[in-house]
Structure 1
Amino acid sequence: MKLPKARKRGESYRIELMFNGKRISATRDTEKECEEWAMIKLLELKTQSNEDPRIKPHYPFSALLLKYYESIGKHKKSKRTIHISINQFIRNFPNIAEMSVHDITPQVLTDWRNVRLKQVSVGTVLRDISLFSSIFSYAQKELFLIDINPFALVVKPSQPKSRNRRISNAEIDLILQAHDYKHGQVPTDPQHFVAWAFLFAIETTMRQGEILSIKRSNIFDDYIHLPETKNGDSRDVPLLDSAKDLLKLIAPTKSERLIDIESSTFQNMFGNRIRKLGIDDIHFHDTRHEGITRLVKLRKVPIEILMKITGHKTAGILINTYYNPTASEISKMLNESN
């Protein structure tokens, strides 16, 4: 059955379906959202009207992906990442996207995994597997479309080694120059704010998303309050004098947000300039590793205090992932403590 076209009604779009003599309609913000709703709704109606339970209707994986996003994904904090991953899969793997969920086997997904490993990093593949496995679990346990999650028999690639990339002062200077920014400068352009955030991240160990979420009402004399962080909890981040000096450079504006830049714009701006510098092995998140290492190496912050600053719930992840002192550095610290 060919899907009808959505029609514009004022600032929104409306689409109508006819099924078994009944008219069903919906209104959405965009034409694409209308078409996605119609495809999912039509599949649901066909499934419900199937009289022989032995006959499994064709339910494209793409429809399941879109239904998951509408029902669950768009309500998560990571909704933007989920939406991008789903759209990329539908665009890059159309053959699998149009397969019925009943026909997708562990072999199909293993072949997809192997192709994906040649295109992107192991970490990205692991994140994709986690997302799509959750979607199949949703189809199994919530929609009762399938009996078994096919990802249960797919071997995950080995977890990559933790990054321990330090950022040198020379590299910091290069990154600031690439954003036309200098130490102590009042940021005015978007690229200045990106450079400022880079410095602020090193001084506070805060994540990029946490910095972009800061509201002026969250800032206190000695700390910044983060109402919600990656692990779902709130956290108070203490401020070194160097971090306070950086905050003083931000001029008052009408916006409640400290940095009024969208995450995608921020990421693109930083990534493009890093690539032009030829040091694209640096990620913005490496500032967290650098900041944590400096707190331990220069300020001798003990691990239990460090956990409160960074928001880690277990010492193991913090030590193994973010702070990786060499044997020589450990020797120096031990001798300095005598």
Structure 2
Amino acid sequence: MAIEHRGPYQWRVRIRRRGFPTMSRTFETKSEAEAWERMILTEMDRGVFVSRREAESTTLSECLDRYAREIVPEKKGQRQELGRIRILKAHPLASCYMASIRSVDIAALRDQLLAEGKKPSTVVKYLAILSHLFNIARREWGMESLANPVELVRKPTVRNARERRLEGDEEERLLEACRQQGNPWLEPLVIIAIETAMRKGEILGLTWEDVNLNDRVAYLRETKNGEPREVPLSTRACQVLKSLPRSISGRIFQTTDYATRKAFIKACKRAGIEDLRFHDLRHEATSRLAEVYQAQELAKITGHKDLKMVLRYYHPRGKDLAKKLG
């Protein structure tokens, strides 16, 4: 055991004890070095010592790289996840050693992201990556001494519940604008979304093997909650699917998420429809299907495990409810 003065603002502690790994760390002041030495020796004496070497010699940037290699490939939405990791790596916090990152640092990152104009829901996704990374590092990457500083930080309040539905002649105007777009797949995509309440990614992932037009059922293998489900097809949905050409790839819709998103924005602008997102069509479809199915059946169709989530997508119009009173 020794504390060595190596120059201005450099006090190095080296601890050697039989049965334990050699520990070494450099501090700016002697008092910090002595405090760290006392802490490590006390933990060794009490039999609760856990090596901090890995956490003290590995930066957040290095862990983000490993997370991208080992963890992200097992996730859905890999492209978006990798994009967020690139942004985190560009932050000064990425150069810090894992053991030195505190909750105050995570809170500062949170506030900076919000100040840059990122939505609370987006910031929560960044924090979720960091929290998962710290937990993985502690459990699987030899950093057992590591605490998760993200768990101590307040998450931004997310208020992203929407009640946007198609009003008046918006559906007709939207479909007409879709037909005038350069993407021939947009109109059938919109109709299928309105008729089935499927997510955009689920529709784009459909193959002809997934659809049984005789039984009027679409089988979704890849879903957001990870569980496959069957979705009933209306007469209108079946007619649209029957009209589509078939390709060697087997995919029903020969377009991409990016192309669909851009085309939909242009169609809404052309139709003079404001504040409408493609995902709002899922709200529209769920509200329509709620007039036919009971809540438990509706949850099976939409893929929600919690009936509370179904209610987030069910937006009956007051005038329609009034009609039921007679």
* Unaligned segments of structure 1, at least 5 residues: 1-50, 183-188
The partner residue of 2:240 within 221, 236, 246 is 246
Tell me the equivalent position of 1:199.
191
Say if 1:127 and 1:271 are closer, same or farther in 2 by CA, change over 3 A. farther
SS at match of 1:192: coil
Q: Post-superposition shift, 1:217?
A: 0.9
Report the Cα distance in structure 2 between the residues aligned to 1:117 and 1:61, rounded to whole angstroms.
21
Matched, 1:258 2:232: no
Tell me the equivalent position of 2:298.
306
SS at match of 1:156: coil
Q: Post-superposition shift, 1:154?
A: 0.4
- The number of equivalent residue pairs is 273
Amino acid at match of 2:294: P
Matched, 1:60 2:59: yes
| TM-score of the aligned structures, taking structure 1 as reference length | 0.73
| TM-score of the aligned structures, taking structure 2 as reference length | 0.75
Say if 1:328 and 1:277 are closer, same or farther in 2 by CA, change over 3 A. closer
Report the Cα distance in structure 1 between the residues aligned to 2:318 and 2:169, rounded to whole angstroms.
24
SS at match of 1:254: coil
Tell me the equivalent position of 1:316.
308
Moved more, 227-236 or 262-271: 262-271
Q: Post-superposition shift, 1:276?
A: 7.4
Tell me how large the CA RMSD over aligned residues is: 2.5
Pick the structure with greater CA Rg: 2
Q: Is 1:214–1:257's contact at 8 Å kept on the other side of the alignment?
A: yes
Q: Post-superposition shift, 1:241?
A: 0.6
Q: Post-superposition shift, 1:311?
A: 1.7
Task: Describe the superposition over 1:171-199 as per-residue Cα deviations: whole angstroms up to 9, x where unpaired.
Answer: 334444544449xxxxxx5x121232122
Task: Describe the superposition over 1:137-160 as per-residue Cα deviations: whole angstroms up to 9, x where unpaired.
Answer: 111221133520010110112231
Q: Post-superposition shift, 1:305?
A: 1.9
Matched, 1:153 2:152: yes
The partner residue of 1:214 within 206, 214, 219 is 206
Tell me the equivalent position of 1:144.
142
* Unaligned segments of structure 2, at least 5 residues: 1-20, 26-52
Amino acid at match of 2:254: D
Moved more, 224-233 or 236-245: 224-233
Tell me the equivalent position of 2:224.
230
SS at match of 2:240: helix
The partner residue of 1:97 within 80, 94, 97 is 94
Amino acid at match of 2:314: Y
Moved more, 234-243 or 173-182: 173-182
Q: Post-superposition shift, 1:245?
A: 1.5
Report the Cα distance in structure 1 between the residues aligned to 2:124 and 2:272, rounded to whole angstroms.
27
Q: Which has the higher contact order (CA 8 A, sep 6+)?
A: 2
SS at match of 1:136: helix
Report the Cα distance in structure 2 between the residues aligned to 1:275 and 1:96, rounded to whole angstroms.
41
Report the Cα distance in structure 2 between the residues aligned to 1:53 and 1:177, rounded to whole angstroms.
71
Amino acid at match of 1:102: A
